[in-house]
A = this chain, B = another copy of it.
Amino acid sequence: MDAFSPLQPGELEFIEKYRSDMVDLPAGAQIIPEHRTSARLFTLYAGWAFRYKTLTDGRRQILNFLLPGDFIGLQEEFADGATPGVEAVTPVRLCVFARDGLWPLFREYPSLGYDITWLAAREEQWVDHHLVTAGRRNAMERVAMLLIHLYRRAERVGMAQDGAVPFPFNQQHIADALGLSLVHTNKTLRRLQAHGLHSLVDGRLRLLAPRSLERMADYFERPLRRSPLI
């Protein structure tokens, strides 16, 4: 697919060997439970998921969203403290890798190690992005930002059809990603919709006025680059 870089000779074979399994999980499943380090790494092959952290009183913050092609569980390898959880939003299919195969991968195929670093850096960029949103944008701007962000990412991996992408999240997900309350998220969403900026019907998102949304959100990302795939 156009979204991903081609692999070098030998790399695919190594990945196949490294991959220990293929797993399907239902919507809502904990791919990696919070605070628990998993002995496995994953590549999300199909479906949607998100990384999150919760405070002891239950407040939850979604750190970023995971789409097909995203690598899961790298942070846990190097974690100092509490590790985030990873939860499936839709049914997901995962490629499973043994965690202790990570170092051999770097050693034998440095190019794949480099790719993993790329993926880690890209993921951090998205968290950076969300931190700016949560820290310095108001509710209207936050929601606009998230809608554009998710649309573009879904589009990038070929999910767009007729100007719409799947949108499997409920309003609680949006609220937890943006640092807003559920109620205020709802009101903001309705307000944007009333302005004719987007539509959200039958689990599909359509940006009706992308330029207005971008202006409102102060969105300034360039087109997403082709990324490596492990």
Q: What residues make up the interface of A, taking CB atoms closer than 8 Å to B?
A: 51, 53, 55-57, 59-61, 63, 74-75, 77-82, 84, 103, 106-107, 110-111, 113-114, 116-118, 120-125, 127-128, 130-132, 134-137, 176, 178-179, 218, 220-225
Residue of B at shortest CB range from A132? Answer: B61
- Chain B residue at minimum C-beta to C-beta distance from A116: B117
CB distance from A135 to the nearest CB of B (A): 3
A113: which B residues are within 8 A, CB to CB? 106, 110, 113-114, 117
Chain B residue nearest to A104 in the complex (CB): B110
Whether B124 and A124, one on each chain, are in contact in the complex, defined by CB atoms closer than 8 angstroms, is yes
Given contacts A132-B55, A134-B134, contact A124 B75 (CB under 8 A): yes
A80: which B residues are within 8 A, CB to CB? 122, 125, 221-225
27 contacts between A and B (CB under 8 A): A53-B128, A53-B132, A55-B137, A55-B218, A57-B218, A59-B137, A60-B136, A61-B132, A63-B128, A75-B125, A78-B122, A79-B125, A80-B122, A80-B125, A80-B225, A81-B220, A81-B221, A82-B220, A106-B110, A106-B111, A106-B114, A107-B111, A113-B113, A113-B117, A124-B127, A127-B128, A127-B131
Where chain A touches its partner, the secondary structure class is helix
Q: Once the chains are docked, how many angstroms separate the CA of A117 from the CA of B113?
A: 8
**Which of B114, B128, B134 is in CB contact (< 8 Å) with A75?**
B128
Residues of B within 8 A of A224 (CB): 80
Cα of A81 to Cα of B153 in the assembled complex, Å: 13
- Complex-state Cα separation, A72 to B132, whole angstroms: 19
- Contact A63-B131, Cβ < 8 Å, known A81-B222, A114-B106, A114-B113: yes
